[in-house]
Amino acid sequence: MKTLILVRHAKSSWKHPGLPDRLRPLNKRGQHDAPAMGERLAKREIAPDLIISSPATRAMATAEIIAQEIGHPEEEIRADERLYGASAFELLEIIQELDAALEHVMLIGHNPGLTDLANDLGCGIDNLPTCGVVEVRFEIDSWADIGDVDPACVDFDYPKKISR
């Protein structure tokens, strides 16, 4: 069985309009939501074998905060340039390339690609909000088989959802 955890980066700042998009940091709400969501993931004992993040500042900051909360070594977060602005199809290709030895993978990136991917996988969500998390499980042995089987959407959580 494979478990894929999709995470949209936490809320980012628009305080500096001249700042390139990929360099936008988290805003105050994002700095609050990321550790809160990480704590919720930790309570669920989410422990990915690998965290892959877009290299955008807001995505990497989200990845580092969540990694700290769930006890994943920050130095083991893999930045992948292809995640920045990736479509659902491109995200799926990245996932299908993953080493079959990995059982649990967390992907931290951007919309609309993440929402589209979650829906392509059958999760039926309107929107993956900032710092939202979708957990999907697949009865497969290889990540290359994603797309050939129906997944089970196990969880959909986001900061404004009533805390558990």
Q: What is the dihedral of CA 102, 103, 108, 113, to 10 degrees?
A: 100
Q: pLDDT tens across 26-38, in order?
A: 999 999 999 999 9
Domain ranges of the chain: 2-11+24-157
Q: Is residue 107 classed as helix, strand or coil in its secondary structure?
A: strand
Whether residue 17 is predicted with pLDDT greater than 90 in this model: the reply is no
Whether residue 163 is predicted with pLDDT greater than 70 in this model: the reply is no
For the residues 72-78, what does the mean pLDDT come to?
97
Query: Looking at per-residue confidence, does 164 or 102 come out higher?
Result: 102
Position 2 confidence tier, pLDDT thresholds 50, 70, 90:
very high
Structural contact between residues 134 and 152, judged by C-beta atoms closer than 8 angstroms: no
What number does CATH give the domain 2-11+24-157? 3.40.50.1240
Determine the distance from the C-alpha atom of residue 88 to the mean position of all C-alpha atoms in its chain, rounded to a whole number: 13
- pTM of this structure: 0.95
User: How far apart, in whole angstroms, are the C-alpha atoms of residue 82 and residue 91?
Assistant: 8
Q: Strand order of the sheet with strand 78-79?
A: 78-79, 50-53, 104-109, 2-8, 133-138, 152-157
User: How far apart, in whole angstroms, are the C-alpha atoms of residue 112 and residue 41?
Assistant: 23
Q: pLDDT tens across 18-61, in order?
A: 999 999 999 999 999 999 999 999 999 999 999 999 999 999 99
User: How far apart, in whole angstroms, are the C-alpha atoms of residue 83 and residue 64?
Assistant: 16
Position 164 confidence tier, pLDDT thresholds 50, 70, 90:
very low
